[in-house]
Amino acid sequence: MQALDNIRILDLTQFEAGPSCTELLAFLGANVIKLESPRGGDQGRTLLSEDPQRDSYYFLLLNANKRSITLNLKSEKGKRIFLELIQHVDIVMENFAPGVMKELGLDYNVLKAANPRIIYGTVKGFGTYGPYSAYKSFDPIAQATSGAFSVNGFPDEPPIRPATTVGDTGTGVHCAVGLLAALWQRERTGEGQHVEVSMQDAMVNFTRVALMGHQLTHQPVQRRGNTVAQLVPAGMYPCHPGGLNDYIYLLATSREMWETLLTVIGRADLIGDPRYTEIPERNTRAEEVYALIREWTQQHGKFEVMEILGKADIPCGAVFDSSDVMSDPHLKARGMITTITHPTRGEMTMPGCAVQLSASPREVRPAPLLGEHNQDIYREVLGLSPGQLAELKAEGVI
């Protein structure tokens, strides 16, 4: 038994912010039915694809463990079928552009009237109200308007876009938490509700600690590159043989960690030296401290440094490139990196579920083909016959 195996979700989402939410819930056992347009489906299926005949890796990474049906929501018959489906699901999730569901005549008020227990999840760039609510957004826009760009990069250089898509997937995770909270509340009230997460709001939440400096100075927070404010020797250090990703990041904050680090790098002679013993003194001699550590790290590979320092209880991490991540034995041992077989892509290695529940086994199944489960789901949920489905297909409804 999986934690959410009795929860049925109708997933109208596309691209990343919405699909990352429903994929997480699917990993946790929810029966996620991805509802797509008969004409091409989720736009993510072709986004960044090198082969127009096969779904993109972008799509496959965000839609594992789901089933797919097609339905034309612009047709009157399609809308009627959708409202019938609503009677049999717990959650509807969408991240269309602002106003789309209302234009279709399928917004929350309509769905709530059809099924008062329905939980309606919405992800929008700037939410459904407020001065920016009509604006469209993608991940970089959410990051830019949250303050994340402004604090990322090096002093006296332009802001740098973080490459990780936390504006999208981070918003999806926030929404998944909201949906689970709404499910729990429904257990007590019997009523559903509207769960909304703005991408900008979610990113402000992720940026909260970086914005802390504003509380102290009431001035824009300055970019600090790879350092952590007032915590020398926290930072990035080059390793052998000196490639683009041959770096280690370490964070030795306590006096005990500092003295252990000095011992490991062969500079035990500096233990007790008042110039470096406490953080305030090290902060004033940052370049000297970095040079001491750099001289040692450059003699060793990044994974060797990680092993040596890790075993010495000094927090550190090698800078993993994508190949390192996909082949990492630790991630594979934990099931975070797993290999599956897709019907058109064949064997592929991908990230799995980051959440582990001791009584809810995890499984990663390939993302569905467009409309792959039409017959199964329409028969299972609405009792439609093969003849009725053939007719709907001929009419362009599914």
Label residues 109-128 b or e (16+ Cβ within 10 Å = b): ebbbeebeebbbbbbbbbbb
Tokens of 177: 């938490």
Whether 273 is a known active-site residue: answer no
Alpha carbons 309 and 317: distance in angstroms, whole number: 9
Neighbouring C-beta atoms of residue 273, cutoff 10 Å: 11
Residue 367 contacts by C-beta under 8 Å, 6 or more apart in sequence? 55, 59, 60, 62, 63, 64, 66, 342
Of 80, 72, 9, 68, residue with least CA distance to 35: 68
**Type of residue numbered 317:** G
DSSP state of 220: P
Catalytic residue among 42, 107, 168, 246: 168
Lookup result for tokens 């459904």:
128
Alpha carbons 295 and 291: distance in angstroms, whole number: 6
Measured CA to CA in angstroms, residue 167 lies from 53, 121, 298, 342 at distances of 29, 17, 35, 28
Instruction: Compute the half-sphere exposure of residue 278: CA atoms within 13 Å on the CB side of its CA.
Output: 3
Tokens of 288: 């000297």
Instruction: Compute the half-sphere exposure of residue 103: CA atoms within 13 Å on the CB side of its CA.
Output: 6
Instruction: Compute the half-sphere exposure of residue 295: CA atoms within 13 Å on the CB side of its CA.
Output: 11
Report the sign of the C-alpha dihedral through residues 168, 173, 176, 182, in that order. negative
Q: Which helix (H) or strand (E) holds 294?
A: helix 286-297
Task: Report angle CA 92, 96, 101 to the nearest 5 degrees.
Answer: 65
Alpha carbons 389 and 242: distance in angstroms, whole number: 61
As annotated, the active-site residues are 168
